[in-house]
A and B are shown apart, each in its own frame.
Chain A
Amino acid sequence: MAKHTRGVAYGAWLLLAVSIAAVIVAAINTFNVGNGISYTFGTYLVLFSTAMLVIGSLLITFVRGMSRGLSGFVSALLLIDLLGTGFASYLLEATILVWLMVAGLIAWLIHVFADPASGKRSHPTTTNREAMSS
């Protein structure tokens, strides 16, 4: 019997975990009075961008059947989000967020280069792997 060998998308899962942590940290930075940056435009921006990161991570983790183009577009947006949030966090001197964005970047790289492809294009790869493991 053919074993279901579709690989786990470690990169996407890691990115999702990182982005959830990031949105929590961003919320704390935004609403924790006395940290020097709370209730500023910068923290609102980062809260928004990390929330977008969560949404993007959810998309690449759970949504199957995205076209190759859409999948690439989401990944590109995620990269921009990661870099932008990282830069904004650097300027906010929000060190934890900066490190989370570094971790997110690593997760994104894993996702792009090592995760099993999601969406329509993933079938041939899966088939090949299934064939190899039969």
Chain B
Amino acid sequence: MTRHSALTLLSTLLLASALGSAHAQDSQDEDSAPGPTGGQPQGITDIEGTQTDGENGEQSQQPQQDQQGQQDQPTTAERDLQTTPTLKKGRVSTGPAGTPPAPDAQGLDPTPPQPDEWMDSPNAWATFNGDLRAQKYSPADQITPENVGQLEKAWEYHTGDVSDGSGDIPMTVWSATPLFVNETLYIGTPFYRIIALDPGTGEEKWSFDPDARLEALTQPDMKNRGVAYWQADDPQEGEACQKMVYIGTMDAKLYGVDADTGEPCSEFGESGMVNVNQWNTVNDKWPLSLLQPPTVYNDTLYLGWAGKDWTDAAAPPGTVFALDARSGELKWMFHALPEEVIQRTGTANVWASMSVDPETGLVYIPVSSPSPNYYGGNRTEELPLATSVTALDAETGRVVWSRQLVHHDIWDYDTDAPPTLVDIEKDGETIPALVQTSKQGFLYVLNRETGEPIYPIEEREVPASDIEGEQAAPTQPYVPTPEPVIPDEWPGVSTLADIVSFGECSRRAEQYRYEGKFTPPSLEGSIAFPPTTGGTQWGGGAVNPETGIYVVNSNHVVQIYKLIPRDEFQQAEQQGETGGYYAQGDVPYGFHLQTFLNWAGMPCWKPPYGTIAAYDLKTGERLWNKPFGQVQKYGFYMPASWGSVTIGGPVLTKSGLIFIGASMDSRVRALDVETGEELWRSQVEAPAVSIPATYTYQGKQYVTFIVGGNSILLPKVSDQVVSYALPD
């Protein structure tokens, strides 16, 4: 080949390349406004094409193009979204990478995508809840009830990302689940770093630091519940970002990095970051904090957010985002509140994790209560998706079914945990079921394809509100079977606390309003049992899908809900009262929340303060229910029969073990699922307020706990990751 021929060929190739690139860009622009019937978005195809080509020139141009797109996005994205009404006053806005739902679509999608194989590996712990079904179950059986007593520390790692709040950085609350997948243990930290560890030794492989803002922009503490993992169906060897790890930040940024190197994935959003706050356009008083890792299914990230509690009436309205896992492009955005109310109220968001049925393609979302949380006079309309468990079509975001768990929620009874999906053998039938835990202490067992109850749900009359302007719902759903995780009535005054306080507890109890469950907040103060702490917290329950045995830990806490007329509230504010006072925006009442303690800090109600229970889902029968953990105050452990408030969830293994941290006493434990008996425990540095992970690596089963602490339980923090295994 002559030099001239070579130059001609090169020029031709460059020209062809430029034309191809321009054509691809045009295609993307055209497809950013999807047609009425949708279809596979071109944006995804283009990105895949770029990755397959692996041409440096195109890859280096892509971030610039993305950057330009991102800068324009707040206006462009809004203009391009196609909004479709869906069941129960919900709405879906379809983004450039999404498929709008058919307006008349009903029931399940006839052709759901298949489950991701990598996620269903029996050795892995690939999601926040172990798997997509939120079963928190491992088929690993190396550690058994017989040998669990020999469990010993295999390794320990400290992230360094911890704050006790005494300096510039707010206190850390770390509740991450470690993920074991891709032969690596991935953790997210409350400083929003991602760390990859060797699962057998705890040695650091790499870390990614987004240099996130370490400020309490919404929550009072630096919170994180870990990371999410995704990989392509057919990862290409040697190509970056075929496997990715994601972490969100308090200021609404979602980062995606290569799972093997920790390098940001340039094709994900803007140089590896999607600013989710670009879609925070209504009542955007604070950023949409991404404290819970996304749920990953079918190359899509499902993302909820957390906000600022109890300060505003009109707050950002609840949304769930579905983003393309590779590009971060919006597929759809689900709105839980109808448009006509969003200038007066907000939230009804999804701050806990979600579950997915990979067989049917349904995403189950636990929807929280609308704002303000303790007064509903500004939102008396029916908001059927608020405080609900709702099933969305994973592909389009349309509501397939929804069940409201609390009507007109004025107790902050957020649905706060993902439903656990399990098939139940009942009366000779296999029923596709879900079990939804709740702050109100009920276990809702529903058919997960229809939302219909498997065990009956009754509408029971509840007390009326005596607050002017408030219209408490006349009835509330009540679940007699399975037996609620906490008693129906508040436990009554503790004799010991009453003696210590010279009768203060009983005197105060008589002053408060109490007419059973769902007693509305009042001016004199109402006894709330359970209160906003639950019942059951975000850890939810765990199930053995083979036996149908379901395990759940719960709190028995009494708080006092008191509404304060606005003028009195402002007066208190001027006098510098801050502890427990919440403005609730511009509604006629502020709110005062306090746990029912005596002067010495002792709970005024009878123990136990926390329990763990096992249920047989086939019959709804509670098999056992025991106090769990120990209260620790000033270093002193209270009697085991008192139990402990718990935050975090249990894990079940095939061999019949429950692994759980969660308690105040900074201990992690193994219990016998048959009896609830404690078989093993180990001291850790702070309350392990997280869901542990158990996985098998190189033939050895490990149980790994994140030990971070939570200021709700104790002002005790840590950055410890500790892994246990049987001795060699």
Contact = CB atoms under 8 A, between A and B. Distances in A.
A91 interface: yes
Interface residues of A, number: 13
A42 B667 contact: no
A53 to B, nearest CB: 19
A69 interface: no
A92 B683 contact: no
Interface string B639-679: 00000000000000000000000000111000000000000
B634 A40 contact: yes
A42 B635 CA distance: 5
Nearest to A91: B636
B636 A92 contact: yes
Contacts of A88: 636
Nearest to B156: A34
B449 interface: no
Contacts of B636: 42, 88, 91-92
Contacts of A36: 632, 665-667, 683
A41 interface: yes
B624 interface: no
Contacts of A19: none
A93 interface: yes
Nearest to B630: A93
A43 interface: yes
Contacts of B632: 36
Interface string A18-37: 00000000000000011111
A40 B664 CA distance: 14
Interface string B682-693: 010100000000
B683 A35 contact: yes
A92 B632 CA distance: 9
Contacts of B685: 33-34
Given A36-B666, A36-B667, A43 B683 contact: no
Contacts of B666: 36
Contacts of A33: 685
A40 B635 CA distance: 5
B637 interface: yes
Contacts of B638: 91
A34 B322 CA distance: 42
A43 B637 CA distance: 12
Nearest to B683: A36
Contacts of B634: 40-42
Contacts of A93: 637
Interface in A23-69: 33-37, 40-43
B439 to A, nearest CB: 29
A42 B638 CA distance: 12
Contacts of B637: 91-93
B471 to A, nearest CB: 48
A42 B634 CA distance: 5
A34 B636 CA distance: 15
A37 B637 CA distance: 9
Interface size class of B (residues with CB under 8 A): 10 to 19
A92 to B, nearest CB: 6
B635 A41 contact: yes
A56 B667 CA distance: 36
Interface string B131-151: 000000000000000000000
Contacts of A41: 634-635
A92 B634 CA distance: 9
B716 to A, nearest CB: 9
Contacts of B665: 36
Nearest to B665: A36
B124 to A, nearest CB: 30
A88 B633 CA distance: 12
Q: Which of B634, B636, B665, B683 has the most CB of A within 10 A?
A: B636
A33 B685 CA distance: 8
B169 to A, nearest CB: 21
Nearest to B667: A36
B506 to A, nearest CB: 26
Nearest to A42: B635
A115 to B, nearest CB: 34
A36 B665 CA distance: 8
A35 B407 CA distance: 46
B683 A34 contact: yes
A33 B637 CA distance: 17
A116 B665 CA distance: 46
A92 B685 CA distance: 15
Contacts of B667: 36
A13 B269 CA distance: 75
Nearest to A37: B635
A125 B640 CA distance: 50
A37 B714 CA distance: 13
B686 to A, nearest CB: 10
Nearest to B634: A41
A36 to B, nearest CB: 5
A35 B632 CA distance: 13
Interface in A49-102: 88, 91-93
Interface in B145-168: none
B678 to A, nearest CB: 14
Nearest to B632: A36
Nearest to A39: B635
B682 to A, nearest CB: 10
Contacts of A42: 634-636
A34 B666 CA distance: 10
Q: Which of B634, B635, B637, B638 has the most CB of A within 10 A?
A: B635
Nearest to B666: A36
A3 B667 CA distance: 60
Contacts of A34: 683, 685
A34 to B, nearest CB: 6
A36 B683 CA distance: 6
Contacts of A91: 636-638
Contacts of B683: 34-36
Contacts of A92: 635-637
Nearest to B637: A93
Interface in B92-131: none
A111 B308 CA distance: 64
Contacts of A40: 634-635
Nearest to A34: B685
A60 B683 CA distance: 39
A92 B637 CA distance: 6
Nearest to A41: B634
A93 B558 CA distance: 27
A40 B667 CA distance: 16
Nearest to A29: B635
A36 B638 CA distance: 14
Nearest to A38: B635
A43 B632 CA distance: 13
Contacts of B635: 37, 40-43, 92
Nearest to A87: B636
A110 B432 CA distance: 71
Interface in B604-638: 632, 634-638
The 3 closest A-B pairs by CB, nearest first: A40-B635, A42-B635, A91-B636
20 contacts: A33-B685, A34-B683, A35-B683, A36-B632, A36-B665, A36-B666, A36-B667, A36-B683, A37-B635, A40-B634, A40-B635, A41-B634, A42-B634, A42-B635, A42-B636, A88-B636, A91-B637, A92-B636, A92-B637, A93-B637
Given A34-B683, A36-B667, A43-B635, 13 more contacts: A34-B685, A35-B683, A36-B632, A36-B665, A36-B683, A40-B634, A40-B635, A42-B634, A88-B636, A91-B636, A92-B635, A92-B637, A93-B637
